[in-house]
Amino acid sequence: MKFNKICVLGLGYIGLPTASTFATSGLKVIGVDVNPSIVKGLQNGELHIYEPGLRTLVQAAIISNKLEISEQPQEADAFIIAVPTPFYGEKKADLSYVISAAEAILPHLRAGNLVVLESTSPPRTTIDILVPILEKSGLKAGVDFYVAYSPERVLPGQILRELIENARVIGGINPESAQAGHDLYKIFVKGKIITTTATTAEMVKLMENTYRDVNIAIANEFSRLAERFGVDVWEAIQIANLHPRVNILKPGPGVGGHCISVDPWFFVEAAPDLTPLIHTARQVNDSQPHFVVNKLETILNGLEGKTITVFGLAYKPDVDDLRESPAIEIVQLLSEKGAIVKAYEPFKPDYPLKHGSMVKTLEEALLGTDALALLVGHQQLRDLDPQDIQSKTECRILLDTVNGWDCAAWSEAGFDTYQLGVSRCD
């Protein structure tokens, strides 16, 4: 199948790099978003998200007239849906964005078109939700037009490279749809393209993130056990991972982000009777912020009235994405226990933090505080020099929850150094 013009609905972390990469590969792309301020900003070359290299790519795509930003879809050869799929209330998948994107495509759908859902979705969403909406056009899915599901598996911070190099799964509602999807992504994907059914592709995406979530839950439980038994969990994991068939992931202050902390719930919701392990792993990871707060409470002999500076709020290192971040929950729990929290997040200094105050400089972060807590391993935070920090603050207590700081160096600089998963660094 040949493609000249495509429409990408949703211009966030996934849709914007995808739209720009198709445009710089020569296709005419209509990038659509329902948020007028995002549309206006992008039309002026201003980005609402940070991803290395993305600004240059978007600007190149816009200047070449290959990428047009709009609030409305248009007729095109293919439509890609990359809208959010968060959860709401009791961890139920919110498919309202997918539904409204599909409804927005409907008036523009023509025979021979391809529609691809990229949003992470519960099993059978493509067949049971997307197809019936599109068939309101009077066209028959799989016969008059093609429908596929293709999950995105890029790593934030590396999106532009991984978009091209990663293996890509394309699940069609029938083999012709999978082939059409293959032909579209072949335009820029250099990694292997695997075609399968739509529901398999949906399962694959959820299985990948669920596997990681369960593995991190084990690591988090190991961190708790290590503290109980006076062991350094980081050392123990490193040694265990020398076993050729063991690969334990890293513990931390919790699991956040738009994917790993959300996607397993889609399985739990879809089949609660079959998912006790997945459910429990979610609960373990969701309780890890409490574990960190309890540890700080013990270290500081109570939290009431104590000032605590947290380093990092993002859900993972070197990104500006704070969605579902455990660091935000830690701030909230600390302040609920009476602590005064200052947060230093160099990737999002203006974040409207509800339960504490943002500080914009390291100097402010270090002033008049009782404890420093490293919650995110941003490289620039890992690189902080203990001697330099020691000379800028009276604070002498720190907790590292991500194994980002060299315990011995911080202890040597005069800090009482604590680490998650270690009873105490000496």
Ligand X SMILES: NC(=O)c1ccc[n+]([C@@H]2O[C@H](COP(=O)([O-])OP(=O)(O)OC[C@H]3O[C@@H](n4cnc5c(N)ncnc54)[C@H](O)[C@@H]3O)[C@@H](O)[C@H]2O)c1
Instruction: Output 21 or 417, the one with its CB closest to ligand X.
Output: 21
Interactions with ligand X, residue window 29-58 (CB under 6 A): 32-35, 38
Instruction: Output 303 or 314, the one with its CB closest to ligand X.
Output: 314
Q: Strand 357-358 to strand 114-117: parallel, antiparallel, or no bridges (unpaired)?
A: unpaired
325 touching ligand X, by CB under 6 A? no
Cβ distance 45 to 58 under 8 Å?
yes
Interactions with ligand X, residue window 201-230 (CB under 6 A): none
Contacting ligand X (CB under 6 A), which of 20, 85, 210, 223?
Answer: 85
Q: Within 13 A of 415's CA, how many CA atoms are on the CB side?
A: 32
* 127 Rama class: left (phi>0) / alpha (psi -120 to 50) / beta: alpha
* 316 Rama class: left (phi>0) / alpha (psi -120 to 50) / beta: beta
| DSSP 8-state secondary structure symbol assigned to residue 12 | S
CA–CA dist 357, 226 (Å, integer):
33
114 touching ligand X, by CB under 6 A? no
Q: Within 13 A of 48's CA, how many CA atoms are on the CB side?
A: 17
Instruction: Output 258 or 382, the one with its CB closest to ligand X.
Output: 258
Cβ distance 399 to 299 under 8 Å?
yes
134 touching ligand X, by CB under 6 A? no
Smallest separation (angstroms) from ligand X to the CB of 352 = 17
Contacting ligand X (CB under 6 A), which of 62, 82, 226, 284?
Answer: 82
- Point out which span in 11-19, 195-203, 298-306, 393-401 binds ligand X (CB under 6 A): 11-19
The mark string for 257-296 relative to ligand X (x by CB under 6 A, - otherwise) is -xx-------------------------------------
Quickly tell me which residue has 């532009």 as its tokens.
160
Smallest separation (angstroms) from ligand X to the CB of 159 = 7
Instruction: Output 85 or 210, the one with its CB closest to ligand X.
Output: 85
Contacting ligand X (CB under 6 A), which of 6, 10, 145, 340?
Answer: 10
Q: Which residue is nearest to ligand X (CB)?
A: 12
CA–CA dist 196, 81 (Å, integer):
19
Choosing from 7, 259, 395, 407, which is the catalytic residue? 259
123 touching ligand X, by CB under 6 A? no
Contacting ligand X (CB under 6 A), which of 3, 7, 15, 333?
Answer: 15
100 touching ligand X, by CB under 6 A? yes
As a three-state string, the secondary structure of 121-178 is: CCCCHHHHHHHHHHHHHCCCECCCEEEEECCCCCCCCCHHHHHHHCCEEEEECCHHHH
Tell me the residue type at 212: R
- Point out which span in 117-125, 237-245, 275-283, 328-336 binds ligand X (CB under 6 A): 117-125
Phi, psi dihedral angles at 309 (to 5 degrees): -100, 125
Instruction: Output 120 or 309, the one with its CB closest to ligand X.
Output: 120
130 touching ligand X, by CB under 6 A? no
Phi, psi dihedral angles at 325 (to 5 degrees): -70, 130
Phi, psi dihedral angles at 136 (to 5 degrees): -65, -15
Instruction: Output 120 or 220, the one with its CB closest to ligand X.
Output: 120
Instruction: Output 16 or 407, the one with its CB closest to ligand X.
Output: 16
Instruction: Output 167 or 246, the one with its CB closest to ligand X.
Output: 167
Choosing from 28, 205, 295, 316, which is the catalytic residue? 205
358 touching ligand X, by CB under 6 A? no
Phi, psi dihedral angles at 115 (to 5 degrees): -120, 125
- Based on the number of CB atoms within 10 Å of its own CB, is 363 exposed (0-12), middle (13-18) or buried (19 or more)? exposed
Instruction: Answer yes or no: 407 catalytic.
Output: no
104 touching ligand X, by CB under 6 A? yes
Contacting ligand X (CB under 6 A), which of 6, 7, 14, 39?
Answer: 14
Residue 400: strand pairing partners? 374, 419
158 touching ligand X, by CB under 6 A? no
Please give the biggest Cα pair distance in the chain.
73
Smallest separation (angstroms) from ligand X to the CB of 16 = 8
156 touching ligand X, by CB under 6 A? yes
Instruction: Answer yes or no: 259 catalytic.
Output: yes
Q: Torsion over CA of 135, 141, 145 and 146, rounded to 10 degrees?
A: 130
Smallest separation (angstroms) from ligand X to the CB of 150 = 11
Q: Which of 202, 94, 426, 61 is nearest to 210 (CA)?
A: 202
401 touching ligand X, by CB under 6 A? no
- The set of catalytic residues is 205, 259
Q: By the criterion CB under 6 A, which residues form the site for ligand X?
A: 9-15, 32-35, 38, 82-85, 97, 100-101, 104, 118-120, 152, 154, 156, 258-259
